[in-house]
Amino acid sequence: MRQTIFQYAITAISKWLLVLAVIFAACTRTNIHNQATGLTSAVEAKYSSHSSTIADTTHWPPTFGFGKLATTQELATLDIDIRPDGQGLPAGSGTVTAGKAIYASKCAACHGKTGVEGPNNRLVETAAERTENYKTKEKTIGNYWPYATTLFDYIRRAMPFNAPGSLTNDEVYALTAFLLHANNIIAPDAKINAQTLPQIIMPARQYFVTDDRKGGPEVR
């Protein structure tokens, strides 16, 4: 008798627990649905506001009243690129002797006393290195740069590292002459200017060719 009553009690409790579980599940689904609906509404509101903001930009003025047009002189300080054929080279000239003094005072700290020691990139190839395999030796002005005019262009716009653009045209010509001589490309008494610099044939020019292929996969 007692066992039967106990069994009935267990059965009743189980049924009530099942009912409670169903009610809880239903409430949870409703809550999740409400949260999802609220999130969707928030996202829609955000992007609707964003679209309105984008639309507002169409009414902005063409200018905002600050800044000014660049002057001819300001543009000239930026328009200093030099072409491989020498077009764009400025007036001026320099010698190896003058360049050696400038190099010692403004370049040696980064590139070494003779352009070999560093700590920054090497500029000069030693005589012993000129017999090494071109593909494996360290790249320098003498064994890699295809045009002497590029040397002038780079020094003029980017060197010295702590004061780029501070060198005069004569100083840049002189440094160019010194570095070309250090790489055994020009004579010690050579004078470099807008006429003579483009005529210098760099040792590595033969390794640079124009890619004039038409069609097919690109190979670099």
Q: Are residues 25 and 112 in the same domain?
A: no
Same domain, residue pair 85 and 162: yes
Q: How far apart are CA 124 and CA 168, in angstroms?
A: 23
Q: Where are the beta strands (DSSP E) in 141-217?
A: 191-193
Residue whose C-alpha is closest to residue 6's, from 16, 20, 14: 14
pTM: 0.65
Same domain flag for 80 and 146: yes
N- to C-terminal Cα separation, the chain: 96
How many domains are contained in the chain?
Answer: 2
- Would 192 be classed as within a structural domain? yes
The tens digit of pLDDT for each residue in 74-125 reads 898 888 999 999 999 999 999 999 999 999 999 999 999 999 998 999 999 8
CA-to-CA dists, residue 112 to 4, 22, 197, angstroms: 103, 84, 25
Domain carrying residue 39: 2-59
H helices of 108-168, where?
Answer: 108-111, 141-144, 148-158
